């Protein structure tokens, strides 16, 4: 997680939790003049409804504006992580051991950046991914993006 993202997380996490939700993750996309800040919120027992997203959006927007946490114009988007939820932290990977995930590495490993397989373990700050009976050990900081593959 980038330094700017971790500062935003420290600022917004108490706001989200005060509204009865969990801050699952956040993403900042800077493209052009307007930045996009996407917050993923969750309520493990009940799930997230549109009302939760609205409340978190209003409160988070107010805090971001008062604290002037983002330079320039931005759009705030608040949503559930969904079935194909992104994974950001080791604790989140631990929750999905045994599930299939897809990931993209920051830099190629053995000539490729994209992997899809079963998450079999978390070992220190690395994850163990089984792809076609071959185990790969990836440091979490080397993962650009990871998502749970939904089961239907």
Residues 6 or more apart whose CB falls under 8 angstroms from that of 111 comprise none
* pLDDT(1) > 60: no
Q: Where in the chain is the domain with CATH 2.30.30.100?
A: 90-148
Place 30 in a pLDDT band, splitting at 50, 70 and 90: confident
Place of tokens 């989140």: 92
Place 27 in a pLDDT band, splitting at 50, 70 and 90: very high
What pLDDT, in 10s, does the model give residues 73-98? 999 999 999 999 999 999 999 999 99
Could you tell me the CA-to-CA distances from 96 to 1, 107, 123, 130 in Å, in that order? 19, 24, 14, 13
Q: Are 69 and 7 contacting, i.e. CB atoms less than 8 angstroms apart? A: yes
> What are the φ/ψ torsions at residue 10 (nearest 5 degrees)?
-60, -35
Fold of 3-79: GMP Synthetase; Chain A, domain 3 (3.30.300)
What pLDDT, in 10s, does the model give residues 105-135? 999 999 999 999 999 999 999 999 999 999 9
What is the per-residue pLDDT for 5?
A: 81
Q: Where in the chain is the domain with CATH 3.30.300.20?
A: 3-79
DSSP class per residue in the chain: --HHHHHHHHHHHHHHHHTT-EEEEEEEEEETTEEEEEEEEE-TTT---HHHHHHHHHHHHHHHHHHT-SSS-EEEEEE---TT-B--SHHHHHHTTTSEEEEEEEEEETTEEEEEEEEEEEETTEEEEEETTEEEEEEGGGEEEEEEPP--
CA-wise closest residue to 90 among 41, 141, 134: 141
Fold of 90-148: SH3 type barrels. (2.30.30)
What is the per-residue pLDDT for 45?
A: 85
pTM of the model: 0.88
* pLDDT(4) > 70: no
What is the per-residue pLDDT for 100?
A: 98
């Amino acid at each position: 997680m980038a330094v700017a993202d971790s500062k935003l997380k420290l600022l917004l996490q108490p706001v989200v939790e005060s509204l009865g939700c969990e801050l699952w993750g956040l993403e900042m996309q800077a493209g052009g003049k307007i930045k996009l800040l996407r917050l993923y919120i969750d309520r493990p027992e009940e799930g997230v409804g549109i009302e939760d997203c609205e409340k978190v959006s209003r409160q988070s927007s107010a805090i971001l504006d008062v604290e002037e946490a983002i330079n320039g114009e931005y759009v705030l988007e608040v949503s559930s992580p969904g079935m194909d939820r992104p994974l950001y932290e080791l604790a989140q990977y631990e929750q999905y051991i045994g599930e299939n995930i897809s990931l993209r590495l920051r830099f190629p490993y053995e000539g490729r950046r994209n992997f899809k397989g079963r998450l079999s373990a978390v070992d220190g700050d690395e994850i163990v991914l089984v792809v076609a009976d071959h185990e790969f050990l990836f440091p979490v900081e080397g993962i650009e993006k990871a998502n749970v593959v939904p089961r239907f």
